[in-house]
Every structure is written in structure tokens, then in C-alpha cells.
Amino acid sequence: MFTLTEDERAINETARDFADEFLAPKAVEWDQNKHFPVDVLRKAAGLGMGGIYIGEDVGGSDLTRVDAVRIFEQLATGDPSIAAYISIHNMVTWMIDTYGNDEQRRQWVPGLCSMDQLGSYCLTEPGAGSDAAALTTKAVRDGDDYILNGVKQFISGAGVSEIYVVMARTGNAGPKGISAIVVPKDSAGLSFGANEKKMGWNAQPTRQVVFEDVRVPAANVLGNEGEGFRIAMNGLNGGRLNIAACSIGGAQSALDKAVSYLAERKAFGSRLLDAQALQFRLADMKTELEAARTLLWRAAEALQTGAEDKVELCAMAKRFGTDTGFDVANAALQLLGGYGYLAEYGVEKIVRDLRVHQILEGTNEIMRVVVARSIVGAA
């Protein structure tokens, strides 16, 4: 797992070349203008990044979870915000590919893999974040249809995406009363809130998704009624790995920028890079990133093979990777001094983008709960 084959190196290089050519040069501009570069997303899909771990029979690349985290790390060196959206899109596509029947897979997955259609994941609500099983969006059966009412909050890609995988309550309170339903954008009664003003992730839209008597066919339910919470949680295992990879990639970019700055900047007659105190700080940053990367690859392998400890390993990798990524990026900003605070150097954007990674896909406090349960349950 730690020695890449020739094919694995080629995949890594392709993702890094794409990030260098299409993401990094525009990242600050997209952030400042709140521009969502759909054309660039489709270029990424042309390289197989719209369906990284999706079956080849519906247009996917059929790569492994370890391949995926390496790809997302490389993409995030160019722009963590765009890399993170591609992660979310892949999670949506995977849910339909994994839990959809053959008709559902062939209806939606090819367009998602090509990113001719973009996907959004609708779990969080204004009153249900970490306690996702308490969601209140309802889907009431009416003949051959369901009628949805409710509001989803903090939905990446909302308003632009064509496909929404929605977790809605079709039964009683609790996780077993939740179903996963595919809702197309053109469904009557579906609307969107204003694009949120955010600290970071400005290159992708974040809006409420509002359901007012939205009627969709019962055939749009993924799996069986009542399986939605399980589908959501299984999807989040992979999402947690990918977002940790985005944190590591963003932080690696910030570290590289810091090294370049220290090599060029002189103070008191010497390069800043020659100061041993700063060298030690860089050494710690590199070590912390490598530790996070190693844990991430270990967790990705566990998820790929279905290991018994995959859930807690994904939680560990997410918590450690996103905390480490933010800390390293923040330290890089400090090393640039006042220049780190300026938008043109790109480091302050990375810091802002990575901060939300400690919150989404399950807050890092919830990741600690997941890991603690695995410890207590085994005692």
C-alpha cells in the first residue's frame, strides 16, 4: 500500500497535473468572485474523476478507495474547495451506484460520472446536524409517489446540481424511519435559498434546499424504505476519508508555499530558511502531515476491504487529518508573516477552506464519539 505501482503513480501524477493546470491558477479568483467552475469540473470528469470508485458498466473508473484519497489530496493542492465538491459529488454517485437497482443506476449514474449532471447530498437540516437521525423532512406515500416537505441546510452545490439524494422520514422517529430518495432538480415545488456567505469554500455554492409538496415517483427510493440512514452513514465513511485527503492536500500546498517563501526571504543577513528554529517547525509540519497521510491510507484500505474496524478508522482519519491539515496550514500562514495574510499568496484562502473540514461530514467531536464507542464497546 505504501509503495505505489507504476499505474498508481500515473493516477497521482494525472490528478496533480490537473490541479496545477486547471485549479491552482484560478483558485484565488474563484474564491473572491464566488465562481463555481462547472466547465472545469467536467474536464475533471473527462479524466475519470466524476466517478472514481464507480462501476465501469455505468461510466465509472472503478478505482479503489486508496486511489481516491490520493486523487483528492492531489486535487486539493490546487483548490481544496473544488476538490471537496468533487468528493461530495462522488459520494452521491456512489450511493446511487451501490444501493440503486439496475434501472436507477443506468438512469442517473452515467450522467453523474461525466458530470453532465452534478449531484448534491441532502442530510443536514436547520435543526438536525450532528443528530442526523432526528431529521424532520417528510416523505409521505401517495399512490405511486412520495410527497416531500421540509428544508435541508448547508447543501453543497445546491441550485446548480441536477440530482439530489435526500434523506427523508418515511416512517417513525429514529434512524429506521428514514429513506433515501433521489429528487431531480426540475421537480415541481423544489426551491433553493440564497447562496450562503461563508468563511471559506466560496468557489462552491452552499444553499438551503426547500421541499414544498415535491412529488417524486416511489421508484426513486434507493434500496428499501427505511434504509436511508444506513445508506447515509455508509456514504459518510468514504466522505470522511476524502475530506481528510482534501485537508492534507491543502496543507501540503500551504507548506510548500511556506518553504518557497522562507527560501527567498532574508532577515538579518541570512535566508529565513537557514534559521534552525524555522527548520524545526517545518520538520514538525512535514512529520504531522505524513502521519495523517499514513493513517488515511490505512483507513482507506480498511474501507475498501470491509474490515471490521473500518468505521472507527474512517472517523480517526477524518479527525486527525482535518485537525492536522488546518494546524499545518495555519502554521504556514504564520511563517509567511504579513504576506500570509494577503489573499494573493493563497495561504489565507487555504486556511479558510480547511477550517470547515473539521465540521462537515460529522464534526470532529462526533468523530471522537465514534472512536470512543468502539473502545467502550470492546471493553
Which tens digits make up the pLDDT trace of 159-170?
Answer: 999 999 999 999
The pLDDT tens digits for 249-307 are 999 999 999 999 999 999 999 999 999 999 999 999 999 999 999 999 999 999 999 99
**pLDDT surpasses 80 at 89:** yes
Closest CA to 18 of 45, 38, 53, 54: 45
* 361 assigned to active site: yes
The band of 378, judged by pLDDT with boundaries at 50, 70 and 90, is confident
The reported pLDDT for the residue numbered 325 is 98
Say what the alpha-carbon torsion angle 90, 94, 95, 100 is, to the nearest 10 degrees: 140
Q: Are 314 and 303 in contact (CB under 8 A)?
A: yes
Dump the DSSP string for 82-114. Answer: HHHHHHHHHHHHHHHHHHS-HHHHHHHHHHHHT
* From 162, 196, 361, 365, active-site residue: 361
What is the spatial distance between Cα 205 and Cα 222, in angstroms, rounded to a whole number?
26
Q: What percent of the chain has pLDDT over 70?
A: 99
Q: Which tens digit of pLDDT belongs to each residue from 37-87?
A: 999 999 999 999 999 999 999 999 999 999 999 999 999 999 999 999 999
pLDDT at 373: 95
